[in-house]
A and B are shown apart, each in its own frame.
Chain A
Amino acid sequence: MVERLKEHHDAHAGSESQLLGDEMTVTRDWVKRKFFGETIVDVEGLDFFYGKNHALQDVSLRIPRDGVTAIMGPSGCGKSTFLRTLNRMYEVVPGARATGTVEFEGENLLKTDPVILRHKIGMVFQRPNPFPKSIFDNVAYGPRIHGLRNRKRLTEIAEDALRRAALWDEVKDRLKESALSLSGGQQQRLCIARALAVAPKVLLMDEPCSALDPKASDRIEQTARELAEELTVIIVTHNLQQAGRMSDHVAVFLAGGILAEFGPTRQVFDDPECEQVGDYLQGRFG
């Protein structure tokens, strides 16, 4: 294990940083080639409380800019809470409180303006939640609330976002129809398009497939995989196979909101350092 890391480190001796991310083995070639090791979100000493309930305990990790990072763990381990910390969505719950630093673009995002932050860090929720508006209005919603009125520009943005969410071909002739007329999988891809339309740098996905059938789930997975070429995807998932297939890095939380393991997916799956993580990944609990 240590040897493997050392070997890898030697191969990348050029990188001056001693960041944990730099010491990781890499599972996908394009990551190694183009972007290896750069951190986009740097979490340091994050504690989270719901009232008196300590939901995350001293979490520190550096989420790489490139590829897909999966957040895993048994139910109630705080993985969704962690995700919601990254765009401050936890604030809709009264009594929720986060301490520590979460650095994004040189600032502690826990202290910045959440409205501006959410412009840059988008989110897709567990259940598809398109607004009861037309398909077009759903995608154009984000740019519109940020002040874009130009119809032509909006149309361009909507088409681009829908293409990237792999939905364009299915809806291009029915943009004026209600978004609620779409199937569950289509609705979820619409929600992805809606998030993409404001050009986020990071896309958070909170168990985006849990309400979908396997086929729709596959398409979301594939879409997310493709999106990871241009932005950072952080996905919470229950599904071990899915995480194994689609993620480059994986963070495993255990009960009590403790980050037990973080590293390149293959390494964590094949040779977890923490025994409990091993048991979890073997499906022995969770």
Chain B
Amino acid sequence: MSDRMPPQVSTAAEWERRKRSVSQWIAFSLLGVGSLFGFFFLAFILYWIIRQGAPAITWEFLTDVPRNMATAGGIAPMIVGSVYLTLGSLLVAMPFALGSAIWLSEYAWKGWWVRAIRIGVNTLAGVPSIVFGLVGLGLFVYALNFGVSLLSGMCTLAMLTLPILIRASEEALRAVPRSFREGSLALGATRWTMIRTVVLPTALPGILTGSVLGMARAIGETAPIMFTATAFMISQPYPTSLLDKVSTLPYHLYALVQFNPFYTETKHIQYGIVFVLMVVVTLLNLTAIIWRTRVRRKKAW
């Protein structure tokens, strides 16, 4: 009797175990398929862009201005315009971002207003970009009378990248070990001297990495600049002052697809633009990643 009982129990347990392992297997498979889909979409997008866009890339395409209602020629003014806008927005945003990051990480004491500011910064990151576009139009183009210009676009994009820059900079500043700060203070440094001579230089690589990521985000944005900075087929291809309009990659693409009667004739140009954008964004992200790993390897604290 007693030696017949255990097998029975064991069978029931075995059954239970199998049931569990089957449901586990199903769950894993579903999850696996889900993540496979994610990978598949990415691979498909890349494949599609490369197949359609790569043939369009010629020396002329990268260096010439658009011709014949943008059905021929190149996209050089758009590349230049996008780079100007992105770099410019970084220059505008960086002082503000650095200032608030330093304040938040070094000076701000705990209190409801600091929390409020932090929530505000995080919420700013979630604001739809078209909202920035309209606010930029109202504020920079009309109220400050910059007109539809490079300057207005830089400022609008700066608002968009500000939260990314603040968060990245604050993180980098917080990562500076307390022992460095104490070492500096113990030598008779004031708080500001300590920040200037030890904290900022140590955090700089992290801050730069963050700003490169901010640029990668900004360069593809269309909505914030379409009202404030850019137009289709501007008579003067390259801007000569901050108050000129600029051509940009994303807006040129938008216009080609949406308004241009020669939709099919410009197809190779459309994919060429997307290809260039993807390459630029990938390069920026790659720079940030390489930079970060190099710094991580180098620092021994």
Residues of A within 8 A of B (CB): 87, 89, 92, 94, 115-119, 122-123, 125, 127, 129-133, 141-142, 144-146, 180, 191, 194-195, 198
Contacts and interface: CB of A to CB of B under 8 A. Distances in A.
A127 B185 contact: no
Given A115-B190, A180-B301, A129 B185 contact: no
B300 A180 contact: yes
Interface of B: 109, 177-190, 193, 197-198, 201-202, 299-301
Contacts, number: 68
20 contacts: A87-B186, A94-B109, A115-B190, A118-B185, A119-B187, A123-B186, A129-B182, A129-B183, A131-B183, A131-B184, A131-B198, A132-B201, A132-B299, A141-B197, A144-B197, A145-B187, A145-B188, A145-B189, A180-B301, A198-B187
Contacts of A142: 187-188
Nearest to B110: A94
A195 B185 CA distance: 11
A123 B201 CA distance: 23
Query: Which residue, B180, B188, B202, B301, has most C-beta atoms of chain A within 10 A?
Result: B188
A118 B188 contact: yes
B186 A195 contact: yes
B188 to A, nearest CB: 4
Nearest to B299: A132
A194 B188 CA distance: 12
Residue of B177, B183, B189, B193 with most chain A CB atoms under a 10 A cut-off: B183
B183 A122 contact: no
A119 B201 CA distance: 23
The 3 A-B residue pairs with the shortest CB-CB distance, nearest first, are A129-B179, A119-B188, A123-B186
B186 A145 contact: no
Contact of A198 (B177, B185, B188): B188
Given A115-B188, A131-B184, A132-B299, 12 more contacts: A87-B186, A117-B188, A119-B187, A122-B186, A131-B198, A141-B184, A141-B197, A142-B188, A145-B189, A145-B197, A180-B299, A195-B187
